[in-house]
């Protein structure tokens, strides 16, 4: 087993299922102690905890809604208290509300921005108070920041595009401290919320994908683990596609 992250302390915002759970397990496999947040479905959170602990690392599930700034800060502080610090922050929590602009409610707009953008800022601000040189911050954005090929996705695309600018700016703020920050932009990934065998998936694969399949959560997690590791120490301020050619 390649323990490239041995004894590192990580927090994954939104880690109980899908891409987040894959990231939790991959970081654990590489030796990191991992805390993660979840909103609901404690059974799924418990399964992720068990899978990570089976790899011999400390694992902590924290119930916290990323729309609640105080809960986000509390999750960071609890991670630091229980794991003894924080070296890696993965901002994975996100929502995708789609709809025509004329009917898109202000409530849905604010909720999207609160989770997809504000929570990233809040968690980052809280985490860097404890991070030392070599710290890693990795946001999970979306290929839709670069390309939104169908109607109804404007607000989601906007929220993910905001991370592009945030990462570029924060790379300048954090570089002198030896902390890197990058944005991973997945294309379609097979999850319970976006399964690879749906009618929507078939449309995306046939019309937009260079590689005629969805990604797996493990593929995204492997990319994240690389960015969290020592070999990626000179990568910062980058917005990196893992989208099967969706944006090509």
In a domain, 73, yes or no: yes
Q: How many domains does the chain have?
A: 1
Percent composition of the chain: helix, strand, coil (DSSP 3-state, to 5): 45, 15, 40
- 178, part of any domain: yes
Can you give the CATH number for the domain in which 85 is found? 3.40.50.720
Distances (CA, A) of 36 to 5, 16, 97, 197, 230: 16, 7, 23, 28, 22
Range of the domain at 23: 9-188+217-239
pLDDT tens-place string over residues 49-84: 999 999 999 999 999 999 999 999 999 999 999 999
Question: Pairing between strand 33-38 and 9-13?
Answer: parallel
Q: Is residue 104 part of a domain?
A: yes
- The rounded mean pLDDT for the chain is 97
Assess if residue 129 is contained within a domain: yes
pTM: 0.96
- Could you read off the pLDDT of 156-178 as tens digits, one per residue? 999 999 999 999 999 999 999 99
Q: Which is catalytic among the residues 38, 156, 214, 234?
A: 156
Q: For residue range 77-134, list pLDDT tens digits in order.
A: 999 999 999 999 999 999 999 999 999 999 999 999 999 999 999 999 999 999 999 9
Q: pLDDT tens for residues 188-203?
A: 999 988 899 999 999 9
Residue 206 covered by a domain: no
Residue 196 covered by a domain: no
234 is catalytic: no
Task: Determine, yes or no, domain membership for 80.
Answer: yes
């Amino acid at each position: 087993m390649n323990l490239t992250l041995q004894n590192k302390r990580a927090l994954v915002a939104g880690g109980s299922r899908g891409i987040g759970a894959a990231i939790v397990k991959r970081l654990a496999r590489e030796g990191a102690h991992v805390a993660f947040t979840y909103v609901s479905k404690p059974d799924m959170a418990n399964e992720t905890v068990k899978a990570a602990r089976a790899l011999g690392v400390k694992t902590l599930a924290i119930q916290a809604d990323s729309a609640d700034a105080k809960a986000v800060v509390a999750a960071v502080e609890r991670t630091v208290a229980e794991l003894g610090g924080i070296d890696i922050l993965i901002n994975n929590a996100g929502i995708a509300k789609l709809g025509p602009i004329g009917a898109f409610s202000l409530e849905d707009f604010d909720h999207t921005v609160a989770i997809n953008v504000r929570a990233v800022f809040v968690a980052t601000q809280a985490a860097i108070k404890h991070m030392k040189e070599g710290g890693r911050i990795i946001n999970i954005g979306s290929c839709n920041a670069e390309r939104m090929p169908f109607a109804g996705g404007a607000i989601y695309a906007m929220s993910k595009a905001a991370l592009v600018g945030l990462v570029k700016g924060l790379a300048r703020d954090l570089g002198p401290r030896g902390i890197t920050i990058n944005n991973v932009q997945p294309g379609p990934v097979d999850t319970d919320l976006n399964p690879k065998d749906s009618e929507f998936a078939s449309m995306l694969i046939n019309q937009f994908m260079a590689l005629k399949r969805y990604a797996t959560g493990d593929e995204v997690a492997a990319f994240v683990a690389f960015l969290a590791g020592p070999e990626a120490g000179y990568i910062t301020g980058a917005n990196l596609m893992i989208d099967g050619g969706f944006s090509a």
